[in-house]
């Protein structure tokens, strides 16, 4: 199950672990990604906390924790190849995985159809 936030993060839920990245819309708006700052494994975040930073040739932007949880894994490949965020934002360009602390927070996120409508309303 994949959910989306108004800050253009996607969250793919598998049991009590969620993989988080930024959407194609977000990476396109940022342009060429040149640096990614990832959180520390074991760090705990509340929903909405700044969890990572992505820098592009245009700007730096925060990646927020879409739900509360503890970082279980980070995508170390992004440190050497941050352009994965551009080439595969929903695949190899993921940022971090976190263990959910409150699955009920998922209810406030958008499904794919709602996110598409949200993005269409931005243009």
**What is the model's pTM?**
0.95
Task: Identify whether the C-beta of residue 71 lies closer than 8 Å to the C-beta of residue 97.
Answer: yes
What mean pLDDT is predicted for residues 19-37?
96
Task: Judge whether residue 123 has pLDDT over 80.
Answer: no
What mean pLDDT is predicted for residues 63-82?
97
Find the farthest-apart pair of alpha carbons in the chain and give their distance in angstroms, rounded.
38
Interval 44-71: pLDDT, tens: 999 999 999 999 999 999 999 999 999 9
Q: Break the chain into its structural domains and give their ranges.
A: 2-120
Output the CATH code of domain 2-120.
Answer: 2.40.50.100
Task: Judge whether residue 1 has pLDDT over 80.
Answer: yes
50-83 per-residue burial string, b: 16 or more CB within 10 A, e: under 16: ebbebebeeeebebbbbbbbebbebbeebeeebe
């Amino acid at each position: 199950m994949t959910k989306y936030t108004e800050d253009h993060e996607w969250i793919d839920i598998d049991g009590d672990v969620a993989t988080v990245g930024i959407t194609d819309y977000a990476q396109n708006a940022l342009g060429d990604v040149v640096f990614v700052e990832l959180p520390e494994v074991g760090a705990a975040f509340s929903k909405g906390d700044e969890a990572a930073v992505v820098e592009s040739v245009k700007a730096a932007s925060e990646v927020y924790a879409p739900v509360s949880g503890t970082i279980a894994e980070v995508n170390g490949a992004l440190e050497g190849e941050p352009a994965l965020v551009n080439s595969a934002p929903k695949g190899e360009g993921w940022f971090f995985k976190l263990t959910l602390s409150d699955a009920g927070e998922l209810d406030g996120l958008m499904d794919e159809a709602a996110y598409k409508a949200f993005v269409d309303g931005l243009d």
